[in-house]
Amino acid sequence: MKVAEKLPVEYVDPNNEDGKPVVTLIGADISEAYLDDAEPSPTMEALSRFWQRIIGLFKLGLVLILVGGYPALVVMNHKVDSSAVVLSSAAPWYSNDTGTAMTLLGRELTVAGWAADRSWWHPQARLTALPAWQDGITGALSDYTLLASEHAAREPGAPDSDLLAAARLLVPSQEAEATPRLNAAAEALQSYEGRLSRGLAAQPKGLGVLLDELALYKRWASDSETRLRSSANRAEAWPASREDIEALYSTRAYAQVASQLIMSSLIQEPELVQTRDAREARDQAIFAWRRAATFNPIMVSSQAGTGSILSDHPAAMMYYLSEIQATTTAFIDALQAQEAEMVAVAESGTAE
């Protein structure tokens, strides 16, 4: 019997009296055309192979997206804006410092987004530098706003309520989502600005206020240098440890806030700097702060001075901080000398 004769073509009855299936067998007389139709189609086989290749390419692309695309998204979500703050002249602020603080805060909330509030799957949740930068921004603004609340007190020992509330809300915290808390801080700053526009709040002004602020910024530089040295001494990794990256970007954030607030105060009260020595000291101090704020290596490395290829970025930043402390001290001394000179001139004029 030929092979074709063994092919069943039809069941007549599922079970006959014997309990066995009944089939009709193809006989020996079968046409060649029927056998041709029974063979697999070459076209269909080609289409099947093509479809399998498409499925394979899709799986390969999915793997490449997961392996390469996600890291690319992580890099793209690293958005650190250290550019200078330029306040709009169309809607002037009654306090340049308040406007600068709100602009710095708004950049992080609306442009980059708050990294610490992201879900675990979000690319920003994998970042190290951006969270340290954002905590540094809010930490610096908290310190400054607390000092401003004391300067804006209308009565001794009674800090401005809105500025004091903003200072408390700006303190970095990991216990809850930061976005609602920081939005409340922005509202408190806006409330102070509104009261200031109606004459219901005091505005910190004068040389004494500027000197206190410069002393605060100088302390930031000292604390940042200590933090950088501590991370370099206790953590080792290649090319840099997580602690080194966090310390570096936190330092950049404090330098960004200090540089912007110094320029903001001097734009609002340019008469505070009058002598040539004071102007030169001012320019050198601002340059030193801006150099630290804009220090932006493509990849942070910390080789403890032993790397023949990669740089030691924490060490470079510590050098910048030493320059900051020196130039800020010189600026403070120049302002005090200027004040003493003006007092002496006024006294001599009175005596005459």
CA–CA distance, 108 with 114 (Å, rounded to integer): 6
- Alpha helices by DSSP H, listed for the chain, are 32-38, 42-64, 70-76, 96-106, 129-151, 161-170, 178-197, 207-234, 242-268, 276-293, 313-351
pLDDT of 233: 73
CA–CA distance, 336 with 209 (Å, rounded to integer): 12
Backbone angles phi, psi at 335, to 5 degrees: -65, -40
Which tokens hold the place of 273? 């700097």
pLDDT in tens, 260-313: 999 999 999 999 999 999 999 999 999 999 999 999 988 888 876 555 677 888
Q: Check pLDDT > 90 for residue 155.
A: no
pLDDT of 221: 97
Tell me the three state secondary structure of residue 17: coil
Q: How much is the mean pLDDT over the chain?
A: 85
As a whole number of Å, the end-to-end CA separation of the chain is 140
CA–CA distance, 94 with 197 (Å, rounded to integer): 6
pLDDT of 4: 47
Q: Is the peptide bond before 131 cis (omega within 30 degrees of 0)?
A: no
pLDDT of 74: 81
Picking from 149, 155, 117, the residue whose alpha carbon sits closest to that of residue 135 is: 117
Task: Answer with the residue of higher pLDDT: 145 or 79.
Answer: 145
Cβ–Cβ under 8 Å, residues 162 and 192: yes
Q: Which of 12-26, 87-101, 331-345 is predicted with the least confidence, judged by mean pLDDT?
A: 12-26
Q: What is the dihedral of CA 32, 33, 37, 38, to 10 degrees?
A: -30
pLDDT of 22: 56
Cβ–Cβ under 8 Å, residues 274 and 336: no
Angular region, 157: left φ>0, alpha ψ -120 to 50, beta rest: left
Burial class of 202 by CB neighbour count within 10 A (0 to 12, 13 to 18, 19+): middle
pLDDT of 235: 64
pLDDT of 215: 97
Task: Answer with the residue of higher pLDDT: 52 or 36.
Answer: 52
pLDDT in tens, 93-105: 899 999 999 999 9
The pLDDT confidence band at residue 13, using thresholds 50, 70 and 90, is low
What are the beta bridge partners of residue 158?
155
pLDDT in tens, 193-248: 999 999 999 999 999 999 999 999 999 999 999 999 888 777 677 788 889 999 99
Rg (alpha carbons) of the chain, rounded to whole number = 36
Which tokens hold the place of 223? 């604390």
